[in-house]
Amino acid sequence: MNTQVSIEGSAAPEKNSAMNINTQLFINGEFVAAKNGGTIDVLNPATGELITRIAAAEAEDVDLAVSAAQKAFPAWSEMPAAERGRLLFKLADLIEEHTEELAQLESLDTGHPIRDSRRLDVPRTVACFRYFAGMADKIEGSVIPVEQGFLNYVTREPIGVVGQIVPWNFPLMFTSWKLGPALAAGNVVVMKPSEITPLSTLRIAELIKQAGFPDGVVNIVPGYGYTAGQRLAEHPDVGKISFTGSTQTGRNIVNASTGNLKRIQLELGGKGANIVFEDANIDAAVNGAIWAIFHNQGQACIAGSRLMLHESIADQFLDKFIALAKTIRLGNPMDANTEMGPLTSELHRTKVLSYAKIAVEQGGKILLGGTVPEDENLKNGFYVLPTIVEAKPMDRVAQEEVFGPFVAVMRFKDDAEALAMANSTEYGLGSGLWTSNLQRAHSLARKIKVGMCWINSYKRVNPGSPFGGVGKSGYGREMGFESIHDYTEAKSVWVNIDAKIPPHLERGTS
């Protein structure tokens, strides 16, 4: 992990004016030091140098945040929905106004190439907040056609205090995916960003205050998973946890949540099958496959990390794919020409590199990369070269989530074999199909066990489209109307509209 805790007594961190961010915890509308004065060093993944130091939330701080949220809940949930929407629109506008600042902060903290932060991370964050701002006053109930004499209507009510645990791969964007639906539906939030990449979320906390959200509606408590995260997951007054991260941590969260049987929504790992058939537009598929695995250095749960090629086009495809991968410009994330930055932490780079060794041990063939770049300018950052490995479907590199710029290539002879290979992992998140045969595309899209399938495309997301997986990729959905269902409880109300004693209540009847 590229962070370390240091306990500094009362020397709590304060605002980092140079970067215009407040480095303290955001609880009840105020920035405050952690109770025990603990801090965490946040490092620049491109250089390994210290960016800043932030306050480290522990259980006691999480308790304060939950209790602030609880106090804020009645007024927030009873506020006219359109007014909640207005505040979310205001926040989206403020984020848009600060696009360049937020893009730079995100790239500095995560290693995302600045061109991606500018054109994807920030605009997608704005779009997501706007989508849910507009949704706030459209969360309708329903009327059920029951027997004569009765009216039965169903309303959707907020859950209450929601705990949200955000990983380090897309911290800014995931902040909007989680806050947007939760707040639109009238919940209050305690969010724990990853301690590795907390900076954009802390800046969002300031913009939340500036937008005029009531105190306590959103609380941001960066800290370690085993302390702050664990407390949030087991807290008796938290009604739901929304978690994005590894399958193992998802399991730990489910175990920690049983005390009050809180609701859980899990967006976990993936091992995306990206399948290219013999009738595909090869150049489009090559470009799509590059994007699928190398965007954000492959640190994406939906990454196309298994590239499955029909045997008749595999050699031709690989020639083009490898040639294009060699042209990817690795470099300083802040350089507008950079296409691939460093991985987000040193520990994670070690994990990704270990898979090159594992691939070879199992008989895999490294076709490109598998090491760090030789460029002297990149030697202190956590870089890994684009890596392409030919492997067998049940090899570890074809089964386990590497979460880096690392793709396992496999060949298939027909649709049945492609489908069996695609469904052979324990995950089921994203997948891609490249073909000009419409019938094949729709037939396979139906049979692949995943939450999302892209045809002649890969890795498209939109705030209106549900995002999530099946199997060990988790359950529940983010975004779209589906997410509103996940952030509300259905309440069924029965009214005796004839005001007569219904037959089943009359004395002597059963």
Residue 177 Cβ vs ligand NDP, minimum distance, rounded to whole Å: 11
| SS3 label, residue 415 | helix
User: Does 244 sit near ligand NDP (CB under 6 A)?
Assistant: yes
CB-based contact 387:367 (threshold 8 Å): no
Which of 272, 304, 273, 301 shows the shortest CA–CA distance to 288? Answer: 304
CB 463, min distance to ligand NDP, A: 17
**Minimal distance in Å, beta carbon 434 to ligand NDP?**
24
For ligand NDP, the closer CB: 77 or 344:
344
Query: Using CB under 6 A, which of 175, 252, 305, 431 touches ligand NDP?
Result: 252
Exactly one of 179, 199, 253, 479 binds ligand NDP (CB under 6 A); that residue is 253
CB burial readout 467-485, b (16+ within 10 A) else e? bbbebbbbbbbbbbebbbb
Of 285, 355, 348, residue with least CA distance to 321:
285
Q: Which residue has the tokens 């952030």?
A: 487
Q: Within 474-493, which residues bind ligand NDP (CB under 6 A)?
A: none
Task: Please tell me the distance from the alpha carbon of residue 66 to that of residue 231, in angstroms, as a whole number.
Answer: 10
User: Measured from the CB atom, is 268 or 286 closer to ligand NDP?
Assistant: 268
403 near ligand NDP, rule: CB under 6 A: yes
Through-space distance between the first and last CA atoms of the chain, rounded to whole angstroms: 65
**CA angle at residue 301 from 488 to 277, to 5 degrees?**
115
Is 224 near ligand NDP (CB under 6 A)?
A: yes
Determine which one of 128, 195, 234, 301 is catalytic.
301
In the list 106, 116, 395, 401, the residue contacting ligand NDP (rule: CB under 6 A) is 401
Q: Which of 206, 267, 390, 395 binds ligand NDP (CB under 6 A)?
A: 267
Cα–Cα distance measured from residue 184 to residue 226, given in angstroms and rounded to the nearest whole number: 30
**Which residues, numbered 88-147, are part of the site for ligand NDP (CB under 6 A)?**
none
Site membership for ligand NDP, residue 194 (CB under 6 A): yes
Q: Across-strand partners of 15?
A: 22
Catalytic residue among 106, 206, 234, 267: 267
Rounded-to-5 percentages of helix, strand, coil across the chain: 40, 20, 35
Contact string (CB under 6 A) for ligand NDP, positions 300-339, x = contact: -x--------------------------------------
CB of 12 to ligand NDP, least distance (A): 20
Place of tokens 């109930």: 141
Neighbours of 496 (CB within 10 A): 12
Q: Write down the least CB distance from residue 306 to ligand NDP, Å.
A: 14
Q: Which helix (H) or strand (E) holds 439?
A: helix 438-447
Q: Which stretch binds ligand NDP (CB under 6 A): 20-28, 199-207, 261-269, 378-386?
A: 261-269
Could you tell me which stretch among 49-57, 133-141, 208-216, 221-229 binds ligand NDP (CB under 6 A)?
221-229
Contact 198, 169 (CB under 8 A): no
- 453 assigned to active site: no
Given 42, 165, 275, 307, the residue binding ligand NDP (CB under 6 A): 165
Using CB under 6 A as the binding rule, whether residue 38 contacts ligand NDP is answered as: no
DSSP H stretches of helix in 49-198: 59-78, 81-97, 99-110, 114-116, 122-135, 171-184
| Residue at token pair 């489209």 | 465
Nearest to 399 by CA among 367, 355, 433: 355
Position 246 contacts ligand NDP (CB under 6 A):
yes
Cα distance between residue 466 and residue 188, in whole Å: 22
User: Interface with ligand NDP includes 233 (CB under 6 A)?
Assistant: yes
Query: Which of 390/401 has CB closer to ligand NDP?
Result: 401
**Rounded to whole angstroms, how far apart are CA atoms 255 and 250?**
9
Distance CA 244, CA 255 (A): 16
Q: The dihedral of CA 350, 355, 356, 362: what is its sign? A: positive
Nearest to residue 111, comparing CAs of 296, 292, 245? 296
Total residues in contact with ligand NDP, by rule CB under 6 A:
26
Among 158, 186, 198, 225, which residue interacts with ligand NDP (rule: CB under 6 A)?
Answer: 225
Round to whole Å and give the CA distance between 142 and 227.
41
Tokens 């939760």 identify what position? 182
- The residue among 351 and 460 lying less far from ligand NDP, judged by its C-beta, is 351
Residue of 24, 249, 265, 488 that binds ligand NDP (CB under 6 A):
249
Residue 269 touches ligand NDP, criterion: CB under 6 A: yes
Compute the least distance from the CB of residue 225 to ligand NDP, in Å: 2
Binding mask 282-301 for ligand NDP (x = CB under 6 A): -------------------x
Q: How far apart are CA 431 and CA 326, in angstroms?
A: 24
Which span (82-90, 206-214, 222-230, 479-487) binds ligand NDP, by CB under 6 A? 222-230
Query: Using CB under 6 A, which of the segments 131-139, 151-159, 166-174, 202-210 binds ligand NDP?
Result: 166-174
Which residues would be at the binding site for ligand NDP (CB under 6 A)?
A: 165, 167-169, 194-195, 224-226, 229-230, 233, 244-246, 249, 252-253, 267-269, 301, 348, 351, 401, 403
Which residue numbers are catalytic? 267, 301
